[in-house]
Amino acid sequence: MLVPNLRRAASKLVGRFPVYHAFPPGELRTRAYLRYHQGAKWAKVAKVVRARGGIPTRPLGSALALTRGAFQAGEDDLVIPSLDALEKAYPRSAAVQELRCDLCTFQGDLDEALQRAIRARELKPNSVTATARVVKLSQQVREQEVADQEAVSAVRTFPRSTLVVSAASKAAASAEQFERLLATWREASPDPVGDLPRVVRQLANGAMRTGRLDRAAELYREVIGLIIDGRATPRRFSMPTLQPHSAWTAMLDLNRVLDAAGVPYFFAAGTVLGLIREGGPLPGDDDIDVGVLDRDWDRDALEDLFRKDPQFVVNFHPQTQKVGLNHRGGTRIDIFRFYPEAERIWHDGVFVRWHNTPFTVVRRPFNGAELPVPEDAETYLTENYGDWRTPNPGFDAFTKDAPNVEVTWPEYLDIHLLRRAYRKLVAGDLAAAQADLRRVGEVDLADRLRV
């Protein structure tokens, strides 16, 4: 065991400190350099990688990290030969197959992507990442009955995996399918009471996507009650947030695609707030918001446009008309239709809509790029946020925090408030959780919560 332990220790040392400076020029120094920088921005290592003729195949961990960095940056001229070499060198690596699956997905070859995901699962049957990929791609490629069974089987095998339960819940195409998933989860979980905090958000999202708002409410009431009574332990989780460099790259790629197609657009909502106040993506935000005016809106054409670009995949949500995108770097993007009504301009969420005074769009310089934003940013941001100059990490655009919000689906708002109460409870903000419970009419739960 001594030699493997020494190797692991040396690998950690090389990855944590710039010890490559101590190595003589050559292969070993190059490997140490790449190992140390593998988590950095891709641009920092691209020059060295290209100079040495591509990504090295050994060690596998560093090779995969570098190849994924190149993939996220869209450097397919490096990714493809690297994956070809890695498949030959490591024919039984599930991780290599998963990365090839991701590449095929962004290139639009979903049938091949599914086969790669299946192969990864065969190589590593206990892989939740491979299983989640199979579930998601099956819903896009296979017959609905087959895809439904795949999702049910995945939940039965991995009832404690948030990744698998999330993929299966999103793949549910009907209320009946979701009910089968939920029943399967309750049967398969070794501890349905203790495990519910682990997967309640994913299950509730599936219920809402299939129109079962009542079931989503039941799940949140159940888990909140279990935690209040001490029968289940709160499970802390973090909400996804934008990574500044990746988000900026996604914005530039989106600008490239829409400008090349001649589609007028503008950045909107929190993205404008970030650009104007921070000079870039808003810290703490979770997506990029984009607007297209009604006269320029063609949802099918927009989706087709981004399906053809290998930097994006199109996401589908059954209860909204927005165009949802995922960028290779991990950034989520929402494109909204802005339409006129009663001397205002509106855009819709799932259960609310927001209004603004009609505005014109101008291009302004941000970090070396000319990007489109509402010309009167002062009025636009004040209508959206009130005091927009003062950061407010707790701001909730789906409630009266937003001066310009209008609720269009009250029952869905109730679920949102229950969901928010659960998040506050898990975070330890009992007073805020109690306030949200009272607001949504859950008086019994609010009274049982000792603040």
The per-residue pLDDT for range 358-378, each reduced to its tens digit, is: 999 999 999 999 999 999 999
- CA–CA dist 96, 391 (Å, integer): 42
Q: Specify the residue for token string 């921005």.
A: 41
Average model confidence (pLDDT) across the chain: 92
pLDDT at 41 over 90: no
- Over residues 159-167, the mean pLDDT reads 98
pLDDT band with cut points at 50, 70 and 90 for residue 49: confident
**Residue 141 token pair:** 């490629």
> pTM (2 decimals)?
0.90
**What phi, psi does 236 have (nearest 5°)?**
-65, 145
Residue 329 half-sphere exposure, CB side, CA atoms within 13 Å?
Answer: 23
How much of the chain, in percent, has pLDDT values that exceed 90?
Answer: 80
Q: pLDDT grade, residue 335 (50/70/90)? A: very high
Residue whose C-alpha is closest to residue 338's, from 325, 349, 327, 350: 349
Which pLDDT does position 38 carry in this prediction?
47
For 63-94, the pLDDT digits (tens) are 998 899 899 989 999 999 999 999 999 999 99
pLDDT category at 28 given cuts 50, 70, 90 is: low
Omega into 59 within 30° of 0, i.e. cis? yes
Q: Is the pLDDT of residue 443 over 70?
A: yes
Model confidence at 2, pLDDT cuts 50, 70, 90, reads: very low
Q: What is the pLDDT of residue 6?
A: 59
Q: What is the 3-state secondary structure (H, E, C) of the chain?
A: CHHHHHHHHHHHHHHHCCHHHHCCCCHHHHHHHHHHHCCCCHHHHHHHHHHCCCCCCCCHHHHHHHHHHHHHCCCHHHHHHHHHHHHHHCCCCHHHHHHHHHHHHHCCCHHHHHHHHHHHHHHCCCCHHHHHHHHHHHHHHCCHHHHHHHHHHHHHHCCCCHHHHHHHHHHCCCHHHHHHHHHHHHHHCCCHHHHHHHHHHHHHHHHHHCCCHHHHHHHHHHHHHHHHCCCCCCCCCCCCCCCHHHHHHHHHHHHHHHHHHCCCCEECHHHHHHHHHHCCCCCCCCCEEEEEEHHHCCHHHHHHHHHCCCCEEEECCCCCCCEEEEECCCCEEEEEEEEEECCEEEEECCCEEEEECCCCEEEEEECCEEEEEECCHHHHHHHHHCCCCCCCCCCCCCCCCCCCEEECCHHHHHHHHHHHHHHHHHHCCHHHHHHHHHHCCCHHHHHHCCC
